A and B are shown apart, each in its own frame.
Chain A
Amino acid sequence: MSPILTISGLHKSFGELEVLKGIDLTMQQGDVVSLIGSSGSGKTTLLRCVNLLEDFEKGSIELAGQKIGYREDGAGQRRRLPEREVARQRSMTGMAFQQFNLFPHMTAIRNVMLGLIKTKNMPKDEAREVAQKWLERVGMAARSDHYPGQLSGGQQQRVAIARAIAMNPQIMLFDEVTSALDPELVAEVLAVVRDLAVEGMTMLLVTHEMRFARDVSTKVVFMHQGRIHEEGTPDEIFGAPKTERLQGFLANSEI
């Protein structure tokens, strides 16, 4: 089976500071990969590169057999793809953000419908049906006509997840989706993510919820200073960490 996501030799700098120093990562259909590591280790940047929200200088990302973000011209020069093409490739990935980023001037269902109508060119009625279906899946059907300002953080995050997944992406990216939530709202969002994992959605997630990562992941990747420091099954990573660095990190995390 050919992999759905192949990251090879990925380098990324912010000015002088190199945040990703050569990342290689492969994911198969249905994989759930958790990225863990202390802040500044580059996990979020890696996620954002996959969604082309960040440029990267070296290496490549292949999504469903297609190189994304850049192409090589006749002279072998690396060039950024035109914006329209980048936009199309982005819609093959779905992203849920730490801060939800719902559009405040649209109701929940409109938030979900926007991408369907504008990028998938779906007729309005069909988009409404699809959106309603996904809102139901995340348990937000009853609130579909509410504006983000009228919803709790957990509810907003569930709508945001519905918005991303309604686009029918090849892979879902979750960027610390529970970090901005009050503790009592974390569970409802994690339940939604867990359901998606169980149903076989391919997912790459950055998380600080170690217990959750251990439960849902097929693979856990520990990043440190822009490199993959250790990777393995949840049991290997959490049960028998090999490197001292990972042992130290886990000792300082709540499990």
Chain B
Amino acid sequence: MNLLDGLGDTILISVSSVVLGTILGVFVGLAMTYGQRWLRFIVRLYIDFLRGTPVFVLILACFYVLSVVGVDLTAFQAGVLALTLFCSSHVGEIVRGALSAIAVGQTEAAKSIGLTFMQTFVYVLLPQALRQILPTWVNTATEIVKASTLLSIIGVVELLLATQQVIARTYLSLEFYLFAGFVYFLLNFVIEQAGRAVERRISIP
């Protein structure tokens, strides 16, 4: 069935963008926190540019521009790329915020018992940062699910375009738009509840 395939694509787009965007975003956040001045400057530009541009424009730009410069991506891939970049700018900002919110004393205490920078990061900073990041990160994930609808405009048959195709056949626009809206609501509701459950489990007493 058309709609089910569309839903599958929506989930695939969202999951891959969030996963790739988070990985990229962690590096962005690390560069913002620990990088040399020139690196921080470049990364700042990267974040500001991506956050100042509407996601829709980002998607159109990835879709049109890349083919001109000889990178042949399918609409699907171009869309995932755009969402990944978008996600990375958000995650980068969150990671930077979380890391810089951890008191300097934590790093010093870790150093004073002889931990290296890597060990300090992995055992002391990261676990604390992750807990702080989680709620906002979940929020970003739901943003990505919602933004994945924009891929319909460059012809990726995800849930929204699949819905529109069904509407074109049946003329039942009210019913099917409501249905699609409800499915998105459900997706995000599940993500939020899962996030809250994890948050409760890992909260520090």
Contacts and interface: CB of A to CB of B under 8 A. Distances in A.
B122 to A, nearest CB: 9
Contact of B112 (A84, A99, A149, A164): A164
Interface in A116-135: 118-119
Bin the interface of chain B by size: 20 to 34
B114 A147 contact: no
A222 interface: no
Contacts of B114: 87-88, 90-91, 115, 118-119, 167
Given A114-B123, A118-B123, A103 B111 contact: no
Given A105-B128, A105-B204, A90 B111 contact: yes
A247 B204 CA distance: 49
Interface string B123-156: 1100110010000000000000000000000000
Bin the interface of chain A by size: 20 to 34
Contacts of B110: 103
Contacts of A53: 108, 111-112
A217 interface: no
A88 B114 CA distance: 6
A193 interface: no
B115 interface: yes
A94 interface: yes
B105 A97 contact: yes
B100 interface: no
A200 B150 CA distance: 71
A68 B110 CA distance: 18
B112 A104 contact: no
Interface string A35-68: 0000000000000000111000000000000000
Interface in B169-205: 204-205
B106 interface: yes
B109 interface: yes
A147 B111 contact: no
Contact of B113 (A83, A84, A99, A115): A115
A147 B202 CA distance: 13
B116 interface: yes
A163 interface: yes
Contacts of B109: 95, 97, 101-103, 160, 163
A93 interface: yes
Interface in A180-230: none
A144 to B, nearest CB: 14
A103 B106 contact: yes
A26 interface: no
Interface string B65-81: 00000000000000000
Contact of B103 (A83, A88, A99, A160): A99
24 contacts: A52-B111, A83-B117, A91-B113, A95-B109, A97-B105, A97-B108, A101-B103, A101-B108, A102-B109, A103-B109, A105-B131, A114-B113, A115-B113, A115-B114, A118-B114, A118-B119, A118-B123, A119-B115, A147-B204, A147-B205, A149-B204, A149-B205, A160-B109, A164-B113
Interface of A: 51-53, 83-84, 87-88, 90-91, 93-95, 97, 99, 101-105, 114-115, 118-119, 146-147, 149-150, 160, 163-164, 167
Given A87-B111, A90-B113, 14 more contacts: A53-B111, A53-B112, A90-B111, A90-B112, A94-B112, A95-B109, A97-B105, A97-B112, A101-B105, A101-B109, A104-B204, A146-B205, A163-B109, A164-B112
